Amino acid sequence: MKLWSKKNIRKWLRFIHRDLGYFFVGITIIYAISGIILNHKKNGEDPAYKTEYLSYQLASGLKPNQVTDYWKHHISDYALNRIIPAGETYQIYLKGGLGTYNPISGELSFEVYEKKQWVYFMNKLHYNSKKGWTLMADIFAIAMLLFALSGMFIVPGKKGIRGRGKWLIAIGIIIPFFFFL
């Protein structure tokens, strides 16, 4: 049996494709799910956080310490860090949120951000912003390249790369360029 025969090469390609595929299935699922989530971001907001918008009608003309007192008694679910006068409004700084109080109208509005733990975790990996993940991400990228290359040559004949496979590969390469133009 020849070491570099077509049959032997296909056997090794199937082996690499199959076993690396099983090994990387978990990472592939995480990248796929986080990719879908990132593809459907709304208004550029980070999908790893849920934003809650709240507003209250307070008395007008309150001073920062009066807004703090109101907060302690009526809005205790959200931790208030500080209130800073900024021109005609007060900037409200919360633990995990921001807001404003308008002393003229008495309107208090703020938004609070809550982390979605699993989405946050997957996106950190997807963005490669988790310390120490770069090596694993590079290994995974090389594995994806090996999957693509080995997959091209596994199937012989008219359904393989010499037949319709070459046309499907060409279409797969061309489509992204249409979105670039």
- Tokens 């699922």 map to which residue? 29
The total number of structural domains in the chain stands at: 2
CA 140, chain centre distance (Å): 17
The verdict on 63 and 100 lying in the same domain is yes
Residue 41: helix, strand or coil by DSSP? coil
Q: Are residues 104 and 70 in the same domain?
A: yes
CA distances from 9 to 2, 3, 159 (A): 10, 8, 18
Kindly list the averaged pLDDT for each block of 10 residues, start to end, along the chain of length 181: 75 84 88 87 82 92 92 89 93 94 95 91 85 88 88 83 89 90 81
Give the pTM: 0.64
1 located within any domain: no
- Segment 37-67, tens digit of pLDDT: 888 887 777 888 888 999 999 999 999 999 9
Structure tokens at 50: 């849920």
- Do 24 and 78 lie in one domain? The reply is no
Q: Which domain holds residue 98?
A: 49-115
